[in-house]
Structure 1
Amino acid sequence: MTNPPRTRRRTSEVRELLLDAATEVFARKGYAATTTDDIAAEAGVARTLIFRHFGTKSDLFRAAQLQPFIDLLAGFRETWNAQQEEVWTEYRLMRTMVSTMYDSFRAHRTGVLGVASSAEAMDQDVARETRAVLDQVFQDVTEIGKQEARRRGWFSEVNLELSIRMIIGMVASMTVLEPLFVPGGRARPSRDQIIDHLTNLVLYGIRLEPPDPATDTAADTGVDTGTDTGTAHPSE
């Protein structure tokens, strides 16, 4: 009796297996403690395939762990371009941005956790490139924010990049650390309730100053405080 011929995996399938395995192992063990043998065993492939497809462990780390942030920037650009001709309300724009962040980080939660857990253990070249990718994302999003600040006029460009870094960090934390900070059981809020609440936190905090009572009214912001969820939901 002869054995059936082995099916050769497609290149794209092997790459996907390695990326998924690397994401999982880096998050579990951190960059320094992870070996290419660990990743190959997790993927169920020969270790030589790592070098064939990615070159080095650091190249694989970059491909596996930085993708969420690249996807995030692409999502921001798509959202911003969509409202260039017909300007969206502040709430609609911010909620779309927040939901883009939230969904991207949730989809890549393991990868985001891997970057966070590996940050201090990376070799200098990997750490430098990781920082460069993140800095570019923050700078590009800041440029979008500055154009919106000039167009809308109600928040300042001063320290805007720091605000954006903190906003993205807040949303990332709420996805990666969700089991610790989001109520569980029957009290657990839905995805939409979490996004609504995060959106309101961002909109109210971006000015970094107390609101002007003469202009910052419920009618001006569109806030409907008569909800039963504990979260104010601005109307569209």
Structure 2
Amino acid sequence: MRSLVLRAARDLFDERGYEQVSTREIAGRAGVTQALVFRHFTTKANLFVEAAYRPFYDFIADYVRHWSERGHGIGSPEQDTLDFVGGLYTLLLNNHKLLLTLPGGPSSGSNELRVRAHAFLQEALDDLEREIKTELAVQGTQIADVALAVRFTVSLVYGATVLDEVLYPAGRQRPSRQHVIEEMAGFVLRGARYAGSDARPAEPQA
């Protein structure tokens, strides 16, 4: 039943966004009663967060769990970054329609929705941040600010997905998905390495 409600909610939020969809409509499309929807999700805000953000949360959780089980200091930063960027980019592309509702969802919805969405996402990002800090400590590698590096990376992939049709309009040659993934991963690695180095840009001459 839960999966039916989430699928119905995701489809309806895809179509019309958070504000224009009622829990009654979601229940009707799922073929259940509205009471059952509230029994499982309590509020519409909780339902939206589960429908919109759960795939992202699960991706982060699976990535962190795999990394932890494999052991730290074993893989290469290049492959780890490529796997993360590629997996996240593919996930977000596959949920592209719902992505377009997210910037206007938590920001324009109720305070409950904003609080719930922020807490849900921060938990996933904090878990990823802790895992990366452990990996860097084992490798003896430093970057300037792990918390920002994690969030910049997610922002880069999210932005590239949301702006996909603007960046690659119809009629122009489009790079392959793999090429985009490789370039984004390289961009992340080069930025992190620069930030963690002792090198600083030269001061402009007076």
Give the TM-score normalised by structure 1. 0.71
Larger Rg: 1
Shift of 1:25: 2.7
Partners of 1:124 and 1:48 lie apart in 2 by: 23
Letter paired with 2:138: R
1:127 counterpart SS class: helix
AA aligned opposite 2:181? I
- SS at structure 1 position matched to 2:193: coil
Are the aligned partners of 1:20 and 1:64 in contact in 2 as well (CA < 8 Å)?
A: yes
Task: Give the drift of 1:100.
Answer: 2.0
Query: In the alignment, what sits opposite 1:131?
Result: 118
- TM score, norm. by length of structure 2: 0.80
Report the Cα offset of residue 203 of structure 1.
0.5
Distance (whole Å) between structure 1 residues aligned to residue 35 and residue 131 of structure 2: 43
**8 Å CA contact retained: 2:89, 2:161:** yes
Q: How does 1:83-94 map to 2 (within 5 A)?
A: 83-84=70-71, 87-94=74-81
Q: Which residue of 1 aligns with 2:176?
A: 190
Unaligned runs of 5+ in 2: 200-206
Report deviation, 1:43: 4.5
For 1:25-51, what per-residue CA distance to the aligned partner results, in whole angstroms no more than 9, with x for missing partners? 334433233222443455566545533
The structure where helix makes up a greater share of residues is: 2
For 2:157, the equivalent position in structure 1 comes to 171
**Unmatched tracts of structure 1, length 5 or more:** 1-10, 214-236
Aligned length: 199
Give, in angstroms, the shift of residue 94 of structure 1: 1.0
Q: Supply the AA of the counterpart residue of 1:107.
A: N
Deviations 1:168-222 (A, max 9, x none): 0111222233112135556212221111111111011113449789xxxxxxxxx
Structure 1 residues 134-143 or 100-109, which shifts more? 100-109
Query: 2:183 & 2:17 partners in 1: Cα distance?
Result: 32
Check whether the contact 1:79–1:97 (CA below 8 A) recurs between aligned residues: no
Q: Is 1:106 the counterpart of 2:87 in the alignment?
A: no
Correspondence 1:16 to 2:32: no
Matched with 2:166 is 180
CA contact (8 A) 1:106 1:175 kept: yes
1:24 touches 1:110 (CA, 8 Å); kept in 2? no
Q: How far has the Cα of 1:107 moved from its partner?
A: 3.0
1:74 aligns with 2:61: yes
Aligned alpha-carbon RMSD (Å): 2.9
Asked whether the 8 Å contact 1:79–1:96 carries over to 2, the reply is: no
Q: Is the 8 A contact 2:68 2:131 kept in 1?
A: no
For 2:139 and 2:145, locate their aligned partners in 1 and report how far apart those are by CA, in whole Å.
Answer: 17
